[in-house]
Amino acid sequence: MVQLLRSLRHGVIASAAALVVATPAFAQADAPKLDSGDTAWMLVATALVLMMTVPGLVLFYGGMVRKKNVLSTVMQIFAVCCLASVLWMIVGYSLAFAEGNAFVGGFDYLFLAGMSVDSLSGTIPESVFMTFQMTFAIITPALITGALLTGVFAVEAIGGTPGLLEGAPGQIVTQAYGIAATIIYCAVATFIILKVIEAVVGLRVDETTETVGLDIKLHGERAYDL
């Protein structure tokens, strides 16, 4: 009996030692690794989303104005694209993905703090992940429809939440609630911004500029002659 107890004790000690030694190996095996295939696809997806804005929205809105205002319209879209990109890297990424409260993130990633060449987000570089999300920040209004349809096509095995097609119609309500909250916030913020612009520089150009066109007045040339 004594010999049996000694054997059991030695076996427990040996098992515990083996577990301690093996734990770092398991942790190392579970550590995320860079995947070239995932990275390549995310770069392609980033380029595709960016093309929805440039040249997508450029051609769309440029085709909705008179030809004497095309150049200015195109330049405004480019300016907004650049501004949104800078704001996203300064503070937007941090407010979206840093630890915060239930409504907004913190400032841990302000100016992309903590991001390095070796930083990973899953199996792709964090810089690629940041850029991919930035393209959506640029073209967010066009994604409202997609946000609503997420409640229809959401798959629990991928996103952790089932959609309408998996028997969870409540997800559509959740998506619609998020869209409504975003629209209200944007409407209020836009109204405030417009009032500030109206007080500083005005919302409408003078009659001469309207007659000649913004392209000639501001740039001294037309986008094209037809």
Question: 109 in a domain, yes or no?
Answer: yes
Mean local confidence (pLDDT), 121-150: 82
Whether residue 3 has pLDDT greater than 70: no
Final residue of a structural domain among 84, 106, 138 = 138
pLDDT at residue 189 in the model: 93
Whether 41 and 129 share a structural domain: yes
Which range of residues forms the domain containing residue 202? 140-226
Directed axis angle between helix 126-138 and helix 70-87, to 10°? 140
Q: Which of 67-76, 93-102, 138-147, 186-195 has the lowest mean pLDDT?
A: 138-147
Average pLDDT, the chain: 79
What are 9-49's pLDDT values in tens digits? Answer: 444 444 444 444 444 444 444 677 888 999 999 999 999 98
pLDDT at residue 154 in the model: 75
Q: Give 4's pLDDT tier (boundaries 50, 70, 90).
A: very low
pLDDT at residue 214 in the model: 81
Whether 83 and 178 share a structural domain: no
What are 193-218's pLDDT values in tens digits? Answer: 999 998 998 888 888 888 888 888 88
Whether 67 and 128 share a structural domain: yes
Question: 20 in a domain, yes or no?
Answer: no
Whether 128 and 163 share a structural domain: no
What are 43-66's pLDDT values in tens digits? Answer: 999 999 899 888 887 887 777 666
Question: 12 in a domain, yes or no?
Answer: no
pLDDT at residue 110 in the model: 93
Question: 84 in a domain, yes or no?
Answer: yes
pLDDT at residue 192 in the model: 95
Whether 60 and 133 share a structural domain: yes
Question: 7 in a domain, yes or no?
Answer: no
Question: 28 in a domain, yes or no?
Answer: no
> How many distinct structural domains can be found in the chain?
2
pLDDT at residue 226 in the model: 64
Whether 78 and 103 share a structural domain: yes
Whether 159 and 223 share a structural domain: yes
Query: Mean pLDDT highest for which of 149-158, 182-191, 215-224?
Result: 182-191
pLDDT at residue 146 in the model: 65
Contact indicator for 76, 62 with CB cutoff of 8 Å: no
Final residue of a structural domain among 120, 138, 156 = 138
Question: 39 in a domain, yes or no?
Answer: yes
Final residue of a structural domain among 110, 138, 166 = 138
pLDDT at residue 102 in the model: 79
Whether residue 127 has pLDDT greater than 90: yes
Whether 113 and 151 share a structural domain: no
